[in-house]
Structure 1
Amino acid sequence: MWGEMMAEIVKIKTAYITLSQLLKISGAIGTGGEAKWYLQENDVVVDGEIDNRRGRKLYPGMVIAIPNEGEFIIESHEAHGDGHAAE
């Protein structure tokens, strides 16, 4: 589905972030208010299953595929390496 794209690491400083927050981080949406519309129009895949809940909690280890943005892996901020940091 996503070809040979490399997954991007998203580091979080909290126990989880919401799908809406990840959509903003990824650049898929500009504001949280756009999340509901975006998820109605696009199939976001969370750990292999389509999920359209903007409040879906994303924990370290989860893999999310966002149309036209790529694949993202949630990691705890304590893990080492580069990536986006989210609170």
Structure 2
Amino acid sequence: MKEIPIRDEYIKLDQFLKFVNVVSSGIEAKIVIKDGQVKVNGEVELRRGKKLHNQDEVEVNGEHYIINAYQ
């Protein structure tokens, strides 16, 4: 599992996917999310604006990430 530090309280799911280079654009993020390829905390997430907070876990393309928000 890769720990991903963020500076803010949260990051939106589509922004996160671009941040970790899973996708290269917002359109690509929208497609990946709407196709049900992304899990947040073990459940498929279909909302690209889902806010990810400290210790949330994201799974996509066989990779696992955990959010580490600066406190």
Normalised by the size of structure 1, how large is the TM-score? Answer: 0.72
> Which structure: greater strand fraction?
2
SS where residue 45 of structure 1 aligns?
strand
Moved over 6 A (4+): none
* Pairs within 5 Å for 1:1-87: 7-68=1-62, 70-78=63-71
- 1:9-59 residue CA offsets vs partner (Å, 9 max, x unmatched): 111111100110111122221012322112123421101111021100000
CA distance, structure 2, for counterparts of residue 27 and residue 42 of structure 1: 18
Amino acid at match of 2:38: V
SS where residue 37 of structure 1 aligns?
helix
Larger radius of gyration: 1
Number of equivalences: 71
Normalised by the size of structure 2, how large is the TM-score? Answer: 0.86
Q: What runs of 5+ residues in structure 2 fail to find an aligned partner?
A: none
Task: Judge conservation of contact 1:10–1:73 (CA < 8 Å) in 2.
Answer: yes
